[in-house]
């Protein structure tokens, strides 16, 4: 007996509506062949083996077996929405980028918010940095501002990124913790990386447990350039300011919410947008020239430093509105490919070594994750302006040159040509120096801005930072790592260091840490670092 023989009382006419009736769409295979029975595989007799003839079964299972693609190596858990960016005024004085030439110009946008450390199925309210990645589909190609909700970063040089990410993710032998930084490897790396201290203050603050994506700031982090039609450069830092203001939850709320609803941030964005309550952010720019950069207390190329807003107030230049959820999570949110190197003419890079490393990295990661050089053919990644090039073939090529011409120059008078006028020209910055592996001495002060951040917090916020550090370090089993971290806190704020040391029950107060990078001697395993202690 097959399922069709069973008369179940539900659906059409009181019976289970399992097969097509007049007017219904007929189920097909991926090849378009109509399917007669999707409930029973083809077999020899009711209790016999399956037969190889069953191409529908084979195709269905084959496709299902290949549904997963690799999750992002970082920022695996994310949630996106569509919307638009609208300018307030022309910024032609600063940039020739088409989207900034006219007031009230609208550019379609897709934004993906994310956590960094957790895997694709982890909880939304982890204590973590949040990604804030914006894709603007401009008339001169896609512009991706791939930022975070914290304006600084853990490291100054992209060559440290794999170490940093290995350290924060689950430990390779035990495979946990999966979604948080409270473990020995992370704090070992951090305590050996003084440049991370400013970021650590932000990550241990309320900023790292936002109430929802709608109450979060976004930052481009690095210094970029804007280039105007005369070829003049202005340095710029990008900030997204939420119209709803900034709100966070406290740790014990986050822990409960994670247990009750790990999709809390997703649900919040979905419900808000579906009910017409569209979240909005203002794009604000910190614009400055070379003279400002030369006179500023810190190096503007150092991604572990900010330019305080009271020193250089951000100028609001437009608004970002999110007003439509994706039709399909996988097709849009999962397959969207952000890349810092996607910039239109009129936007350019600075020599921030982290930014330059990122510009190198993102193309590779998209190829690995999406599996084909043709990932730009996916609708979510394709430009929304006219585009013409001679790239062809490769896996899953959806668009190929039409006709004979697939190169230029050619004698057939066909196809696109490069344009020195309209095309992207890199800002002709003059560079000199010896090729060497080095880091600028101007990047060396790792504590002043960490201290500035800490003392800018209200007393309850400062207590939250102390409590966060205590919780995190209490999960660290190796005492020398706890002590080393407290020795960095001594350089930031003695009362914070003392509070954390007391909460952890440290036997004695360590002295202030050296800001120098660790030497080979520092890294030699001491008896207290031995595996036995863990």
Binding site for ligand HEM (CB under 6 A): 72-75, 78, 112, 114, 131, 133, 146-148, 153, 158, 161, 221, 303, 336-338, 354, 357-358, 361, 365-366, 369
CB 212, min distance to ligand HEM, A: 17
Cα 78 to Cα 119, 126, 227, 334: the distances in Å are 10, 13, 32, 8
| Residue 362 annotated as binding site | yes
- As a whole number of angstroms, the distance between CA 133 and CA 122 comes to 19
Beta carbon nearer to ligand HEM, 108 or 401? 108
Please report where in the chains the tokens 């344009």 appear, as a residue.
419
Q: Are 204 and 244 in contact (CB under 8 A)?
A: no
Beta carbon nearer to ligand HEM, 158 or 480? 158
Q: Are 68 and 313 in contact (CB under 8 A)?
A: no
- As a whole number of angstroms, the distance between CA 275 and CA 269 comes to 10
Catalytic residue list contains 63: no
Total H helices, total E strands in the chain: 14, 10
CB 79, min distance to ligand HEM, A: 9
| Residue 292 annotated as binding site | no
Backbone phi and psi for residue 532, each to the nearest 5 degrees, phi listed first: -60, -35
Give the β-pairing of 78-87 and 233-242. unpaired
| Residue 358 annotated as binding site | yes
372: helix, strand or coil? coil
In 100-194, beta strands by DSSP E: 106-115, 130-138, 141-148
Beta carbon nearer to ligand HEM, 369 or 475? 369
| Residue 324 annotated as binding site | no
Within a 13 Å sphere around the CA of 239, how many CA atoms are in the beta-carbon half? 21
Backbone phi and psi for residue 211, each to the nearest 5 degrees, phi listed first: -65, -40
CB 162, min distance to ligand HEM, A: 8
Beta carbon nearer to ligand HEM, 314 or 357? 357
Beta carbon nearer to ligand HEM, 113 or 454? 113
| Residue 174 annotated as binding site | no
Selecting among 56, 75, 239, 464, the annotated active-site residue is: 75
Catalytic residue list contains 166: no
Which residues are CB-neighbours of 187 under 8 A, at least 6 positions away? Answer: 181, 472, 473, 476, 481, 482, 485
| Residue 112 annotated as binding site | yes
CB 164, min distance to ligand HEM, A: 8
The secondary element (H helix, E strand) that includes residue 280 is: strand 280-288
Which residues are CB-neighbours of 139 under 8 A, at least 6 positions away? Answer: 98, 99, 107, 385
Beta carbon nearer to ligand HEM, 183 or 358? 358
CB 104, min distance to ligand HEM, A: 28
Backbone phi and psi for residue 163, each to the nearest 5 degrees, phi listed first: -65, -45
Selecting among 56, 82, 142, 148, the annotated active-site residue is: 148
CB 354, min distance to ligand HEM, A: 5
Max distance between CA atoms of the chain, in angstroms, equals: 85
Q: Are 374 and 398 in contact (CB under 8 A)?
A: yes
Cα dihedral 314, 318, 324, 326 in deg (nearest 10): -60
Does the bond joining 409 to the residue before it have cis omega, within 30 degrees of 0?
yes
Beta carbon nearer to ligand HEM, 130 or 482? 130
Backbone phi and psi for residue 121, each to the nearest 5 degrees, phi listed first: -100, 15
CB 50, min distance to ligand HEM, A: 38
Cα 320 to Cα 17, 54, 160: the distances in Å are 45, 51, 33
CB 382, min distance to ligand HEM, A: 16
Q: Are 179 and 119 in contact (CB under 8 A)?
A: yes
Is the CA virtual torsion 377, 383, 388, 391 positive or negative? negative
CB 130, min distance to ligand HEM, A: 8
Please report where in the chains the tokens 């807003």 appear, as a residue.
309
- Which one-letter DSSP state was computed for residue 334? I
Q: Could you list the active site residues? A: 75, 148
Which residues are known binding-site members for heme?
Answer: 72, 112, 161, 358, 362, 369
Which residues are known binding-site members?
Answer: 72, 112, 161, 358, 362, 369
């Amino acid at each position: 007996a097959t399922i069709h023989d069973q008369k179940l009382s539900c659906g059409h006419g009181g019976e289970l509506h399992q097969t097509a009736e007049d007017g219904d769409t007929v189920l097909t295979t991926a090849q378009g062949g109509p399917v007669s029975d999707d409930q029973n595989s083809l077999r020899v007799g009711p209790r016999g083996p399956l037969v190889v003839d069953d191409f529908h079964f084979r195709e269905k299972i084959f496709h299902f077996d290949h549904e997963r693609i690799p999750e992002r190596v970082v920022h695996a858990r994310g949630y996106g929405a569509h919307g638009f960016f609208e300018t307030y005024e022309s910024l032609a004085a600063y940039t020739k980028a088409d989207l900034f030439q006219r007031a009230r110009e609208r550019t379609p946008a897709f934004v993906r918010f994310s956590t960094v450390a957790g895997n694709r199925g982890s909880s939304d309210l982890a204590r973590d940095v949040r990604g804030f990645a914006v894709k603007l589909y401009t008339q001169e190609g896609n512009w991706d501002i791939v930022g975070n909700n914290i304006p600084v970063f853990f490291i100054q040089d992209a060559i440290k990124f794999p170490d940093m990410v290995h350290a924060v993710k689950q430990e390779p032998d035990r495979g946990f913790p999966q979604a948080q930084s409270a473990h020995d490897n992370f704090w070992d790396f951090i305590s050996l990386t003084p440049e991370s201290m400013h970021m650590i203050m932000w990550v241990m603050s309320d900023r790292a447990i936002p109430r929802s994506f709608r109450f979060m700031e976004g930052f481009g982090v690095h210094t970029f350039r804007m280039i105007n039609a005369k070829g003049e450069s202005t340095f710029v830092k990008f900030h997204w300011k939420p119209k709803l203001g900034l709100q966070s939850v406290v740790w014990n709320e986050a822990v409960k919410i994670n247990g009750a609803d790990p999709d809390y941030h997703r649900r919040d964005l979905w419900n808000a947008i579906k009910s017409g309550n569209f979240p909005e952010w203002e794009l604000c720019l910190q614009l400055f020239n070379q003279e400002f950069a030369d006179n500023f207390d810190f190096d503007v190329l150092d991604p572990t430093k900010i330019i305080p807003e009271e020193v250089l107030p951000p100028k609001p230049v437009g608004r970002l509105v999110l007003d439509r959820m994706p039709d399909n999570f996988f097709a849009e949110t999962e397959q969207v490919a952000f890349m810092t190197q996607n910039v239109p003419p009129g936007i350019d890079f600075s020599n921030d070594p982290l930014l330059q490393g990122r510009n190198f990295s993102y193309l590779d990661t998209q190829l690995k994750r999406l599996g084909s050089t043709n990932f730009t053919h996916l609708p979510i990644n394709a430009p929304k302006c006219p585009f013409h090039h001679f790239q062809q073939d490769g896996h899953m090529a959806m668009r190929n040159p039409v006709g004979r011409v697939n190169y230029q120059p050619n004698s057939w008078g066909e196809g696109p040509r490069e344009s020195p006028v309209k095309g992207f020209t890199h800002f002709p910055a003059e560079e000199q120096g010896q090729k060497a592996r080095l880091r600028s001495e101007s990047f060396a002060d790792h504590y002043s801005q960490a201290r500035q951040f800490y003392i800018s917090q209200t007393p309850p916020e400062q207590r939250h930072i102390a409590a966060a550090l205590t919780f995190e370090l209490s999960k660290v089993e190796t005492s020398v790592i706890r002590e080393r971290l407290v020795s960095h806190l001594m350089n930031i704020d003695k009362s914070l260091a003392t509070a954390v040391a007391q909460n952890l029950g440290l036997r004695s107060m360590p002295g202030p840490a050296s800001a120098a990078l660790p030497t080979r001697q520092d890294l030699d395993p001491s008896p207290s670092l031995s595996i036995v202690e863990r």
